[in-house]
Amino acid sequence: MSSNTNNLSRRKMLITSIFTSLSFLSISRTAHAKQFLSTSQAKAILLGKKKTTKMNITLTSAEAKQIKKLSKVRVRHKKINAYKTSSGEWLIFDQVIGKHENIDVAFALTNRGKIKGIEILAYRETYGHEVRNKKWRQQFHGKGPEKRLKLDREIKNISGATLSCSHITDAVNRTTQMWKLVLSKK
């Protein structure tokens, strides 16, 4: 076998190996994406059998700017996926960014704008899923718009899930301020 044929054979093996590794990494990355709850399951967990009404809420630019000012978090979507009970409780479906991918989250608020519960519906990151831990999510119960929550102060961080923890905390701040400025008047 000539040295040119031998070099071509090695290159072909190397290229095949690289593509095989890349496809494995791609498969293993998406294999961690997981849907945990549907919206109806999250509703049942957070509000029980209470009847809800879909609320068509689109924030104005002024409202979004004021929410950002108070929460220190930008409003990504002006159209809010919100439901209200007859007793004034709210259920908000939102998305936050983990490290690279969106996390689907449901927030239940009391009629006073306090966090009643949080559920993670879908988590698409390869790590950091510990934010689904019930004990971690319970830190938010009873928190409202009167104080902006900060990670590592009022809310404990989870090593390896810092960005997910931070962005969920930000979303709680944004959601409670949205309740104070907009939802409480509906």
Nearest-CA neighbor of 75 among 103, 45, 96?
96
Whole-number pLDDT of residue 125? 86
Whole-number pLDDT of residue 31? 44
Nearest-CA neighbor of 95 among 176, 174, 184, 151?
174
Alpha-helical (H) ranges within 105-150 are: 134-138
3-state secondary structure of 143: coil
Could you tell me the residue ranges of all domains in the chain? 1-31, 34-185
pTM for this predicted structure: 0.81
Whole-number pLDDT of residue 128? 84
User: If the chain, 186 residues long, is cut into consecutive pieces of 10 residues, what is the mean pLDDT of each piece?
Assistant: 60 58 47 81 96 97 98 95 98 93 96 98 89 96 97 95 96 98 96
Count of other CB atoms within 10 angstroms of residue 149: 18
